[in-house]
Amino acid sequence: MTVHNLYLFDRNGVCLHYSEWHRKKQAGIPKEEEYKLMYGMLFSIRSFVSKMSPLDMKDGFLAFQTSRYKLHYYETPTGIKVVMNTDLGVGPIRDVLHHIYSALYVELVVKNPLCSLGQPVQSELFRSRLDSYVRSLPFFSARAG
């Protein structure tokens, strides 16, 4: 069980942060293109899910999975999107993604007077705390599963 990578987007589609831990295959396109692709896809899936839902929507789009990986999605009312790719053994991790938002992003980026919002995050503290938090998760193992 492992975490492959993590993206953090703001409401305008700016990729605020990207970290990877185990990624064997790259996308084959430049990073900027990759972020735009990810954001555009999420935007489309969200509106698709809300339109085509046969019942009233509760939480909206949560995750999708393929035969190799699972993509987890969490969005805040302010439009901050946390996207984490893990392997298939991992269940719902909404609380983990919420923790990344509230205890890491809000505490270390929003409250940091030197981090301007809407720009990729420069704070080393944020990067290192996020890294150690993800490594401490029960479903993260150092060897790619």
Residues that bind another protein (CB under 8 A): 107-108, 111-114, 123-125, 128
Q: Write phi, then psi, for 104 (nearest 5 degrees).
A: -110, -60
The smaller minimum CB distance to another protein, of residues 44 and 116, is found at 116
At closest approach, how far in Å is the CB of 130 from another protein? 13
Q: What is the 3-state secondary structure (H, E, C) of 27-40?
A: CCCCHHHHHHHHHH
> Closest distance between another protein and the C-beta of residue 117, in Å?
12
Identity of the residue, 28 or 113, whose beta carbon is nearer to another protein in the bound complex: 113
Fill in the amino acid letter for 83. V
Count of residues making up the chain: 145
81 in helix, strand or coil? strand
Measured from the CB atom, the residue of 56 and 124 that comes closer to another protein is 124
Nearer to another protein, 92 or 118 (CB): 118
Between CA 131 and CA 20 the distance in angstroms is 9
CB of 134 to another protein, least distance (A): 17
Distance (Å, whole) CA 30 – CA 138? 32
Please, are residues 71 and 64 in contact by the beta-carbon 8 Å criterion?
A: yes
Report in angstroms how near the CB of residue 17 gets to another protein at its nearest: 15
